[in-house]
A and B are shown apart, each in its own frame.
Chain A
Amino acid sequence: MNVPPEIRSWLGESLFDAVPVNIAVIDPDFRVVTANPSFTQLFGEWEGRRCFEVYKDRAHKCLVCPADEAFSRGELQVREEVGRNRDGEPAQYLVQVIPIRRADGSIPFCVEMSTDITGIRRLEQEMLEAERLAAVGQTIAGLAHGIKNIITGLEGGLYVLKTGLKKGRADRLESGWEMLERNVARISALSKGLLSFSKGQEAHVEPADPALLAEEVAALYRDAAALEGIAIAVEVPAPVPVANLDLAQVHDALTNLVSNAVDACRMSERGAGRVTLRVIEEDGALVFQVEDDGVGMDAEVKRKLFTTFFTTKGKSGTGIGMLQVRKIAHAHGGRVTATSEPGRGSCFRLVLPRDRLPRPLRPPDAAGSPDGGEAREDSHGEAPRQDDPGR
């Protein structure tokens, strides 16, 4: 494409000075050789100083240093850092380090570009908070519905018992009494389920093999399902790297999804069915996909899917499972999606973006020591996230 000369000249002469991004060029000794006005305004005097002195007011190089990586690997490095903005307030920066390569392959300089993403991170945080509030609202609404159903059962028991007494019908006395007993038991089960759902579980995050986890969950159901003609397969089309997961929680989420899928096959008129648990890596996210060819869901069921106490399993379901799955997904910085077609089956996906996965409480040595300093600090009390490993 033919770029008009005035654009070409602006890109060559003014871009560096005009962009609202802090840009510095450093040499292999980490000394700043040049910087744009935005950088100078933010970090002050830089001439003759090294980047860690300018950025962090440090006397020595940071332990985890994206510039070091860019010089040694010759590849773009992306990282989030915590620093200060022009007003001295804490700010989050997206730092990109781009190596400048000579024809002979050597890298004499790297360009460090940092963009203030505090506003974006704040918005994300607000969005998470809004989702959490919505979930609380749904939980309360669901609780009301759950209790309503039990009240109907109790009212029914009383009615049948009372009219049995009045009419002298022993059959009604017996069934009315049973209805009362059953619904008192339901209140007990519901309150236990609610307690375990609301209990803040301590996260035990550790590096785990996702494929192995999937196989473990499938193995739990495989034999029993096979007796009903339902096959459970695990597919891992390409190797999936280890991920930081709360094993017990993700196990719980997958157990819920696989158990639902088996139930969906069971309810299908076709009888036999197939459940496939796939583990895939997709756009930087670890994805567990549970697909079945069971009854599927119509619009009404889909709409109520993540509503507390919504169940299609009558008394055998408490309606807490899918909400639990969503809660676990959120705790891992991820989400659950569902697609379904009535009569053909459903597909549930637990999507866990790797850069949002929680960090293990004791990070492996390779992840840097606590005074590495450059890693993004968690400022909002949420589960700390993994830093962008760079590209």
Chain B
Amino acid sequence: MKSNAPRVWMLDDEADVVSYLVAALEDEGYEARGFSEPSALYEALDAGPLPHVVCLDILLQEGSGLSVYRTLRGRPGFKAVPIIMVSGYSRREEFQDGEFQRLMGDATIPPPEGFVEKPVSLPELLALVAQLVYPSGEEASCCAQKERP
């Protein structure tokens, strides 16, 4: 694992999903970390540095991933970090602009940058992560620090 590798974090209370995707992301050269509880994710965010991408499962034991999403979006300095929502229950359309705000009951909240349906297709997830980590198609390890337009 390279020390300057892009950081991809994953929150899912299915331990096997976390082990699987963390292993696969590491194999792709990312510095991957898995969390099974939101509190552990928040602690890691407090400790820093921020990840380049966060993958968030929608259903969690400690409240739903949607409330975690709301909390993350409200955190100072987190606006630049892309979030991929992962769900086995919801439809992709629910995460598009307009529909997502209705789902959240919040007209101002931005939709997530990506959505992946469970069971996760590894090539799809890896392609999406790569696209968000390297928006211009080139390697860059500091995109988490940049404010998105």
Residues of B within 8 A of A (CB): 13-17, 19-21, 23-24, 27, 58-64, 66-67, 88-90, 103, 105, 118-120, 122
Query: B64 and A182: CB pair below 8 A?
Result: no
Query: A179 and B118: CB pair below 8 A?
Result: no
Residues of B within 8 A of A175 (CB): 19
Bound form: Cα–Cα A159–B89 in Å: 24
Grouping DSSP codes into helix (H, G, I), strand (E, B) and loop, the A interface class, with mixed when no group exceeds half, is helix
Bound form: Cα–Cα A300–B88 in Å: 12
Contact residue among B14, B66, B119, B120 (Cβ-Cβ distance under 8 Å from A298): B66
Quote the shortest CB–CB distance from A269 to chain B (angstroms): 9
Grouping DSSP codes into helix (H, G, I), strand (E, B) and loop, the B interface class, with mixed when no group exceeds half, is loop
Query: A160 and B23: CB pair below 8 A?
Result: yes
A85 at the interface (CB under 8 A from B): no
Residues of A within 8 A of B (CB): 145, 148-149, 151-153, 155-157, 159-160, 163, 172, 175, 179, 182-183, 267, 295, 298-301, 304, 307, 310-315, 342
Bound form: Cα–Cα A300–B95 in Å: 12
Query: B16 and A314: CB pair below 8 A?
Result: no
Query: A160 and B19: CB pair below 8 A?
Result: yes
Bound form: Cα–Cα A175–B105 in Å: 41
A149 and B118 contact, Cβ closer than 8 Å, known pairs A156-B20, A163-B27: yes
Query: A159 and B23: CB pair below 8 A?
Result: yes
Query: B61 and A313: CB pair below 8 A?
Result: yes
Contact residue among B14, B19, B66 (Cβ-Cβ distance under 8 Å from A149): B14
A267 and B63 contact, Cβ closer than 8 Å, known pairs A151-B119, A300-B58, A310-B89: yes
Query: B118 and A148: CB pair below 8 A?
Result: yes
Query: A153 and B16: CB pair below 8 A?
Result: yes
The chain B residue with its CB closest to the CB of A301 is B64
Bound form: Cα–Cα A197–B90 in Å: 24
Residues of B within 8 A of A307 (CB): 89
Query: B16 and A182: CB pair below 8 A?
Result: yes
Query: A300 and B103: CB pair below 8 A?
Result: yes
Residues of A within 8 A of B17 (CB): 152-153, 156
Quote the shortest CB–CB distance from A182 to chain B (angstroms): 6
The chain B residue with its CB closest to the CB of A148 is B119
Bound form: Cα–Cα A175–B19 in Å: 8
Contact residue among A179, A299, A304, A310 (Cβ-Cβ distance under 8 Å from B16): A179
Query: A152 and B23: CB pair below 8 A?
Result: no
The chain A residue with its CB closest to the CB of B26 is A163
Quote the shortest CB–CB distance from B8 to chain A (angstroms): 16
Residue pairs across A and B with Cβ atoms less than 8 A apart, 10 shown, are A145-B89, A149-B14, A149-B118, A159-B23, A159-B122, A163-B27, A182-B16, A295-B63, A298-B67, A314-B13
Query: B88 and A145: CB pair below 8 A?
Result: yes
Query: B63 and A155: CB pair below 8 A?
Result: no
Quote the shortest CB–CB distance from A371 to chain B (angstroms): 54
Bound form: Cα–Cα A312–B60 in Å: 6
The chain B residue with its CB closest to the CB of A164 is B23
Bound form: Cα–Cα A179–B24 in Å: 15
15 extra interface residue pairs, beta carbon distance < 8 Å, beyond A152-B119, A300-B59, A314-B14: A148-B119, A149-B14, A149-B119, A152-B120, A155-B119, A157-B20, A159-B20, A160-B20, A183-B16, A299-B103, A299-B105, A300-B64, A304-B89, A310-B59, A310-B89
